[in-house]
Amino acid sequence: MNPTARYFRNIGKGFWTVLIGMKVTMRHLFTPAVTIQYPDARMAIPERGRNRLYVNMDDCIGCDQCAMACPVDCITIETAKSLPTEDLGVTSTGQKKRLWVTQFDIDFGKCCYCGLCVPPCPTECIYMTNVFEFSDYDRKNLIYSFITLTPDEVAQKDKQAREAEREAAAKKAAAAAAAAAQKAAQAAQKPSPSPVEPPQKPTPPQAPPVQPATSTAQPSTSSDLPSVPTDKKVENPEVKPGPEPPSSAVNGSPEGKVD
Amino acid sequence: MHNFITYYLGTGVLSSLLSSLLPILFVFGYALVAMYLELKISAHMQDRLGPMRTGKWHGWAQPLADVVKLLQKEDTIPTAADKPLYILAPLLVFMGSYAAYAAIPFSPAYIGADINLGVFYIIAVSAIVVLGILMAGWSSDNKWSLLGAMRTAAQLVSYEIPSSLAVLSVVMVAGSLNLNDVCSAQTGWFWNWFIFGKFPFLFITFVIYFIASLAETNRSPFDIPEAESELVAGYHTEYSGMRFAFFYLAEYANMFTVAAIAAVLFFGGWNSPFGTFMSGPIWGAFWLITKGMVLVLVQMWLRWTLPRFRVDQLMYLSWKILTPFALADLVAVGLWTVLR
């Protein structure tokens, strides 16, 4: 196309496209705006969106699973064992509660809203809500406490748990001491066959008679998990011990082979 | 109206002062309305809402809030700026825009100054704006301002030529430079308006004048001088507070000036489109202001439709398209007028 024709064609096209553009803009002048005027109106939140957590304390058994699952350690849980006489009630899944939850803090300043704490909960008491408008001026106000006990009750539960533990420890110590004394008395009564018999047999004993007497800590309520057999006293003599039993610092002579 | 004022106050300084300050009241009121319209229309054209909260009802107080904000801002002058020029520049720009209001016939009974050279005066006095802008760009001691100012000067000067040629065509048809006479030549129903006269030549004249006047006022798509995304803010980058308010006000005042002149030259000025129905001195003012506002709205419409011209495309448009067409149009209209 020769330049003159192109010149006029450009002018024509220029005008025509401007008019088309003006038509588009005019049409949009009368289309309703798509703006949603927050906070008078809000957009719908997705049903499974991950926003602020909520903990239903009636169902919480204080298992600490959510705190352990949290990647940023924003959940802090402290529990106190309840006395056997107290009845804490039952969770919605039928589990009997045994622990007083004396602290259950979630720091929403740290929380990354990943939702990893939700699946491990055995009673589904922690879950994500659709609340996202909870900004505050002070970071301390973002630490939410979910417990239902009053501070006095918390102090009381802590105290009674500590006392119970102390009593149990004392009792156990007394029982162990009594057992040890009894064993010593028995050994003194029974005449030993030969005083030259070495108290230590060079061959490894077949059954590890390990029974650490100072252990008072029971494995916690996660009783369903398989535990390493070194803690328990092995009663079955067929069971081959793995490693050599730890140094018999507990008692000088082996308590007696189990045949 | 000027006669009305002189009747009561005599021909003296006071009456002249009053007469010359009357349009400024109009300009202030109009500027607030135009600012609000610009915000809302641009918003709705972009499928959004614009200001909704200032003043409770759809943000009507937004321009007022903006004015108050500009007034209470700190007046900063760059240390290396050329102080006298820096202070004088916004005043000159506003003065150039406002002086044109003297010759606009708001109604048959009111014109600020009934000059026999009305059109010529308006074109001449609008050139002071170029001077003000160059001063602003130079005295800011800022490369970008200077570049913006030089581009503006080039743009304004080059678009004055097709603009003046277009105006000249109308003056030939009307036979006088006096704007009141131009209005009087268009009395009757709307088909007497010059835009429909000597078809299609005066229509082309109107299009040329409108495009050229868009460039005169630095409105999109010719807003390279104040291109927000390119030169920060062009020649008024360093201005803040009241001084910036002057530039802003001058832009809106200019918009109405060129719209009103287009209305006078092509759309019958203060004449009613229905002949004698709804006509008279006060109706005249209503019609002129309405026609001016419609053209202002078209200017805004174009702003939100078109992307910006590049500076070389801008120059090409002026010198290689608008000027030749304006010249050819002038010849055509002249021949038609003479040979009729």
Q: Give the residue among B111, B120, B147, B165 at the shortest CA–CA distance from B328.
A: B165
- Give the model's pLDDT for residue B3: 62
B319 in reach of chain A (CB within 8 A): no
- Give the model's pLDDT for residue A233: 47
pLDDT-derived band at A15, boundaries 50, 70, 90: very high
Residue B20 placed within a domain? no
Please say if the pLDDT value at position A247 is more than 70.
no
Q: Give the helix/strand (H/E) hosting B245.
A: helix B241-266
pLDDT-derived band at A241, boundaries 50, 70, 90: very low
> How many CB atoms are closer than 10 A to CB B246?
22
pLDDT, tens digit, 9 for 90 and up, residues B169-185? 999 999 999 999 999 99
Please say if the pLDDT value at position B56 is more than 50.
yes
Task: Output the CA torsion B297→B299→B303→B308 (10° steps).
Answer: 180
pLDDT-derived band at A146, boundaries 50, 70, 90: very high
Q: What are phi and psi of A178, to 5 degrees?
A: -65, -45
Residue A76, strand partner residues:
A105
- Give the model's pLDDT for residue B226: 67
Q: Which of A93-102, A229-238, B199-208, B311-320 has the lowest mean pLDDT?
A: A229-238
- Give the model's pLDDT for residue B230: 60
Q: Which of A18, A33, A37 minimises the CB distance to B44?
A: A33
| pLDDT, average across residues A26-37 | 90
Q: Give the helix/strand (H/E) hosting A80.
A: strand A75-81
Is A21 in contact with B305 (Cβ distance < 8 A)?
Answer: yes
Task: Answer yes or no: are the C-beta atoms of B288 and B107 closer than 8 Å.
Answer: yes
Please say if the pLDDT value at position A221 is more than 70.
no
Which chain B residues touch A37 with a CB distance below 8 Å? 49, 52
pLDDT-derived band at A224, boundaries 50, 70, 90: very low
Please say if the pLDDT value at position B83 is more than 80.
yes
- Measured between alpha carbons, how far apart are the two ends of chain A, in Å? 112
- Give the model's pLDDT for residue A39: 84
A11 in reach of chain B (CB within 8 A): yes
Q: What is the mean pLDDT of chain B?
A: 87
- Give the model's pLDDT for residue A242: 43
Instruction: Indicate left, alpha or beta for A175 from its phi (over 0: left) and psi (-120 to 50: alpha).
Output: alpha
A21 in reach of chain B (CB within 8 A): yes
- Give the model's pLDDT for residue B293: 95
Task: Output the CA torsion A106→A107→A108→A109 (10° steps).
Answer: -170
Is A33 in contact with B45 (Cβ distance < 8 A)?
Answer: no
Number of structural domains chain B divides into: 1
Is B305 in contact with A37 (Cβ distance < 8 A)?
Answer: no
Alpha carbon of A28: minimum distance to chain B alpha carbons (Å): 5
pTM: 0.75
The residue that leads in pLDDT, B114 or A129, is A129
Q: Which of A168-182, A195-209, A217-231, B12-26 has the lowest mean pLDDT?
A: A217-231
Which chain B residues touch A11 with a CB distance below 8 Å? 321
Is A26 in contact with B301 (Cβ distance < 8 A)?
Answer: yes
- Give the model's pLDDT for residue A244: 45
Q: Which of A29, A32, A37 minimises the CB distance to B45?
A: A29
Substitution target in B47, B220, B300, B309 with the highest count of A β-carbons within 10 Å is B47
Instruction: Tell me the domain boundaries of chain A.
Output: 53-154
A41 in reach of chain B (CB within 8 A): no
Which chain A residues touch B214 with a CB distance below 8 Å? none
| pLDDT, average across residues A195-219 | 46
- Give the model's pLDDT for residue B229: 52
Is A25 in contact with B45 (Cβ distance < 8 A)?
Answer: yes
A31 in reach of chain B (CB within 8 A): yes
A22 in reach of chain B (CB within 8 A): yes
**Fold adopted by A53-154:** Alpha-Beta Plaits (3.30.70)
Substitution target in A10, A25, A26, A37 with the highest count of B β-carbons within 10 Å is A25
Instruction: Quote the CA–CA distance of B340 and B337 in Å, as a whole number.
Output: 6
Is A35 in contact with B301 (Cβ distance < 8 A)?
Answer: no
pLDDT-derived band at A237, boundaries 50, 70, 90: very low
Q: Which of A186-195, A220-229, B57-66 has the lowest mean pLDDT?
A: A220-229
Question: Taking CA atoms, what residue in A is nearest to B46?
Answer: A28
B204: domain range? 73-339
Q: Which of A18, A22, A33 minimises the CB distance to B47?
A: A33
- Measured between alpha carbons, how far apart are the two ends of chain B, in Å? 37
DSSP B317: I
Please say if the pLDDT value at position A208 is more than 50.
no
Residue B43 placed within a domain? no
- Give the model's pLDDT for residue A238: 45
pLDDT, tens digit, 9 for 90 and up, residues A95-114? 888 889 999 999 999 999 99
- Give the model's pLDDT for residue A251: 43
Three-state DSSP at A230 gives coil
Q: What is the mean pLDDT of chain A?
A: 78
pLDDT, tens digit, 9 for 90 and up, residues B235-260? 777 777 888 888 889 989 999 999 99
Alpha carbon of B29: minimum distance to chain A alpha carbons (Å): 25
The residue that leads in pLDDT, B144 or B30, is B30
B-facing residues of A in 113-172 (CB < 8 A) are: none
Which of A205-214, A221-230, B135-144, B230-239 has the largest mean confidence? B135-144
Say what percent of chain B tops pLDDT 90: 46
- Give the model's pLDDT for residue B137: 87
- Give the model's pLDDT for residue A21: 94
Instruction: Indicate left, alpha or beta for A253 from its phi (over 0: left) and psi (-120 to 50: alpha).
Output: beta
| pLDDT, average across residues A182-200 | 68
B316 in reach of chain A (CB within 8 A): no
Is B305 in contact with A28 (Cβ distance < 8 A)?
Answer: no
Residue B16 placed within a domain? no
Three-state DSSP at B257 gives helix
| pLDDT, average across residues B138-154 | 84
Substitution target in A11, A16, A29 with the highest count of B β-carbons within 10 Å is A29
Please say if the pLDDT value at position B159 is more than 70.
yes
Which chain A residues touch B46 with a CB distance below 8 Å? 28
